[in-house]
Amino acid sequence: MVIATPVRVEALVDCSAAALQNLQLPDPADPAASGWTATGATLKGIPPNPAGSVPEIASGDQNDGPARGTAKLFTKQIGNVKCFYLRREAVTATGDPMGTANGVLCFDTTDCSVCAWDKKTKAGDPDPKGTLFSTMLSTSSYGAAGGIDNCSACHVSGITMTMDKMYQQADELALMNTCVTAGGPKWVGAPPGWATQGPANKIPPASVPASCGQSGCHTAGFLKPQPDVGQRTWCGFAGQAFKQGGSMSDYSEDECKSFMDALGCNRSACDPLGAANVPAMSNWSLWGLAVIMAGASLLVIRRKLSCAWS
């Protein structure tokens, strides 16, 4: 087993540092060989992008039905920087591989500054395992043909985990509260148009249901999407947390509506009959994780005063 020697990457995180650029995507069959840790269960039944061009798989599907795709989260710590890698694999209705979507976010856990990388593969391409970060798409490619998506439109609060199967095993409360305190992620190298940090993004704990905002978990409060950066996408994404299998599925409809009001979202996200008003999960961008990471305020919320991860 090869374990990387911890390297401190000073805040604001330096995305060009060799300690990050020389990282490689892990082999999902043996992530420990490159110092990665598999985190949480593998989500199954993830639908591929209906357009079929690239497998932009949203990992929020709570069904474990016939596998149209899977999503698996891996993490790696390097000094004060923690990296989250979501590997998604798409298959056709007959089980033939369609390709992969590989998104990486590396957070400086002291100030919520973030480096982002992305790689997509199609059917017949080599497996992405072993790919160097230095060869992947980054924020500098945003706006170019085939470039990286706007990660900030979905990762309003950092990592994003709305589904139980992920968040239960990824205890990131400290990072979540750091990101809220900072007013949101600082996307290093991001061009104009991406969300920016700021106090106006914060929602105090008293503005949301007491069972989540004042329970000792979300001590810093929450973050709301910026109106001009993916608000509709984020609101639909947040609403999925209240559905079956979501991290907030044991909350009442009134609590959901109160939370959506605080986020500035349409209350229809709380109503299963309002699903038509929620962006199709299979059309979300590569970074529309159901996590994943979920980190989201990290939307890893649950009515457990002990903040225990069961």
Q: What's the pLDDT tens digit per position in 47-96?
A: 544 333 333 334 333 333 444 688 888 999 999 999 999 998 888 777 77
In this structure, is residue 151 part of a structural domain?
A: yes
In this structure, is residue 134 part of a structural domain?
A: yes
Tell me which residue range forms the domain holding 230. 18-283
| Rounded CA separation 51/37 (Å) | 32
pTM of the model: 0.79
In this structure, is residue 46 part of a structural domain?
A: yes
In this structure, is residue 305 part of a structural domain?
A: no
Q: How many CA atoms lie within 13 A of 3 on its CB side?
A: 4
94-103, 132-141, 293-302: range with highest mean pLDDT:
132-141
> Token pair for residue 235?
């609101």
In this structure, is residue 264 part of a structural domain?
A: yes
Per-residue pLDDT tens over the stretch 230-288 = 677 778 777 877 877 677 777 888 888 888 888 888 888 887 644 433 333 333 333 33
- Kindly report the number of other CB atoms within 10 A of residue 257's CB atom: 19
In this structure, is residue 78 part of a structural domain?
A: yes
Structural domain count, the chain: 1
If residue 167 lies in a helix (H) or strand (E), which one and from where to where? helix 164-167
| Rounded CA separation 128/137 (Å) | 13
In this structure, is residue 1 part of a structural domain?
A: no
In this structure, is residue 5 part of a structural domain?
A: no
